Amino acid sequence: MKKKERLLVFEKYNGKCAYCGDELIKGWHVDHIKPIIRNSKYSHKKKMFTTDGTCKNEYNNNLENCNPSCASCNIQKNSFTLEQFRNNIQQFIIWSVKPIGLQLMGYKRPMRLN
Ligand SMILES: [Zn+2]
């Protein structure tokens, strides 16, 4: 992504992460709201997958589909869609942040299998 395009993405949320609202710091990520699938191939020389900058679903690789994101949110979002990511966050909030309030409301925490 060109520097000019990156600046436009940065300004979409006034320099804040589109997901958690934190101020963006050096190393912030450009998230593709609808995930892109990068073309990659295995390099036997490097012993790893490498990308050539192209993607399979090029129609998702545009500025409207890009959100500024802190590294943490982008890594958590991974290749989930926005709805899947919101659902994951909701589950995290329900069972990690408000367990006492929910227990008082009669909810039972799901049992862990491990
Ligand atoms: Zn964030």
Verify that 52 and 101 share a domain, yes or no: no
CA of 18 to the centre of ligand 1 (A): 7
CA of 111 to the centre of ligand 1 (A): 29
Phi–psi pair at 80, nearest 5 degrees: -75, 155
Task: Identify the domain containing residue 8 by its residue range.
Answer: 3-78
* Domains of the chain: total: 2
User: How far, CA to CA in Å, does 77 sit from each of 15, 18, 32, 43, 83?
Assistant: 19, 12, 10, 27, 10
CA of 10 to the centre of ligand 1 (A): 13
Exposure class string for 50-59: b at 16+ Cβ within 10 A, else e: eeeeebeeee
pLDDT higher at 85 or 108: 85
Q: What percent of the chain has pLDDT over 70?
A: 81
Verify that 62 and 89 share a domain, yes or no: no
pLDDT of residue 6: 96
What is the CATH classification number for the domain harbouring 67?
3.40.1800
**Token pair of 71, please?**
């590294």
Verify that 56 and 90 share a domain, yes or no: no
pLDDT of residue 102: 59
- Give the distance between the most distant pair of CA atoms in the chain: 58
Task: Give residue-wise pLDDT tens across range 54-98.
Answer: 888 889 889 999 999 999 999 989 889 889 998 888 877 666 655
Answer whether 74's CB lies under 8 Å from 66's CB.
Answer: no
Phi–psi pair at 24, nearest 5 degrees: -75, 135
Verify that 69 and 20 share a domain, yes or no: yes
pLDDT of residue 113: 54
The 3-state DSSP class for residue 107 equals: coil
CA of 15 to the centre of ligand 1 (A): 11
Read off the pTM.
0.70
